[in-house]
Amino acid sequence: MAVTSIWSIKGWIGKVINYAENPDKTKENNEGQIAEDQSRSTQGLNDVITYAVNAEKIRRRQSESMEMELVGEAEELMEQYVSGVNCAPTTAREEMIAVKKRFGKEDGIVAFHGYQSFAPGECNPAMAHEIGKKLAEELWGSQYQVLIATHLDKANHLHNHFVVNSVSFLDGKRYHRTNQDYRDMRMVSDRLCKGYQLSVVGQPEQGKGKYYAEWQAEQQGKPSYHSMVKADVDEAIRKARTEKQFFFYLQEKGYSFKFGKDITIRPEGRERGLKLKRNFGENYSLETIRVRILEENELPVEKKLPVQRHYRIRVSGNFKQTRKIGGLRGLYLHYCYLLGILPKNRPSISAKQVHVLFRADLLKLNTISKETKLLCHYHIDTAEQLFSLKERLQKQMEQCVEERKHLRYKIRADRPEEEIQEMKEQIKGLTEEIGTLRKEAALCDGIAARSKVIEEKFKMVREEKEKKEEQSHEHIRRSR
């Protein structure tokens, strides 16, 4: 499965060539310090390429004849394939600039940067590069110079980068990217992927294309922001008998509206809204929604479910003696209950059963679960306890880093092989411990930020509930 895109580049063409052909690596070192100058345009692609020591990663060891030996952790290695269409990879920059000078078109857009990403583990670098070359030759090979570079990102995530000269070597005409170019690139990429028995991202019937993250969430059965909004709109259409009722049901769920050529709805707590027709297709235009509401009215009424009976059960014990969990732990545990995470044996709930203010966090359940476990493991109830824990974790991490650094100095000396292996194992253990401590410290930062947002959401829900109760009581008083 491949995801594609292409965009224009202005400025110096050498920057984008360097970016694709030979990008500088800004590694995350073992102490977790990120090298400076990340914002430079010649860096970026390989900034995230980091390898740890395990069987799945590629290791490179110098031969004994070179009298070099890798010590400590395995050295990182970037597999990279570079080819050219109508130009040589080593002189692509000079050849593209020469074409621009020949036709007197050195200003404006200097190149187009294309991207083709493959699903992790689905193909090898050679296959990805071969697909990239065929794609470039079919799309641009008849008129333009193209540089193709295949890079191996972390987690075996392969992707191709295409640098397309904006000026044709054939007639000097400029390349103009249109919406049709997007579609052509996607169609050719999908056809090539099918030829290599790779999966393909399904295309929506109409409307805007799907992002890879959204498609992946659907494949895994997880809710996405778009799918939750679409489900709410569909439910409102099913329940409504008139157009007014349709918007009333959405308003009850916390949506606001803006009308123009398209209906824009915005969930409470979101800064930007969604255009229904643009994102979900023709079935969600205002005219079609009206027709769907009328069609729903013609359907037979569903049979009512049997009335549920409630029973009282006697239990032993004293609730007053039961200790209530409050503070940050109580806040997170209650939030996990509202999101359907807790209790563990609880039947799964659908996204529409979750309040609209909380739905965005359905996409972050994994992180929220980790934060909750951290609070419960260390019995953290107050902000002071949280900050104290973070300081303690940072001190432990600094101690481990110093100890690991000391071992790395010792391992350079002439020592027996058994002693060196023992030190390597100690270094490996310290690296794992540093990683765990760093993750827990990051969770502390996440809790400090998220807890304030959760409290604000709870406050908004309470105010909304009180307002509805007040309106209900007012309606009862007037009806008397």
E-assigned strands of 166-276?
Answer: 255-259, 263-267, 274-275
Read off the pLDDT of residues 123-133 as tens digits, 9 standing for 90 and up.
Answer: 888 888 899 99
Place of tokens 């260390």: 378
Is-contact 6 162, C-beta < 8 A?
yes
Task: Name the phi and psi angles at 10, rounded to 5.
Answer: -115, 155
How far does Cα 238 stand from its chain's mean position? 32
How many C-beta atoms surround the C-beta of residue 396 within 10 A? 16
Which SS3 state, helix, strand or coil, does residue 82 take? Answer: strand
> Which token pair is 429?
């253990």
**Secondary structure element (H or E) that encloses residue 161, with its range:** strand 157-165
Other C-beta atoms lying within 10 Å of the C-beta of residue 323: 5
Radius of gyration of the chain, Cα coordinates, nearest whole angstrom: 29
pLDDT of 364? 84
222, 363 Cβ separation under 8 angstroms:
yes
Angle separating helix axes 327-339 and 365-378, nearest 10 degrees: 150
Nearest C-alpha neighbor of 265 from the set 288, 242, 282, 249: 249
Element (H, E) at 110: strand 109-118
What pLDDT, on a 0 to 100 scale, did the predictor assign at position 213?
Answer: 59
Tally the residues of the chain: 480
β-strand partners of 165: 111
Regarding pTM above 0.85, the answer is: no
- The answer to whether residues 209 and 155 touch, using CB atoms and an 8 Å cutoff, is no
Query: DSSP state, 234?
Result: H
Q: What is the DSSP letter of 67?
A: T
Domains of the chain, CATH where assigned: 2-195 (3.30.930), 225-298 (no CATH), 327-475 (no CATH)
Alpha-carbon span 96 to 98, nearest angstrom: 5
DSSP string, 138-207: HHHTTT--EEEEEEEEGGGEEEEEEEEESB-TTT-PBP---HHHHHHHHHHHHHHHHHTT---PPPPSSS
Q: Residue 241 in contact with residue 297, Cβ under 8 Å?
A: yes
Residues of the chain below pLDDT 70: 1-80, 152-156, 201-223, 297-324, 348, 475-480
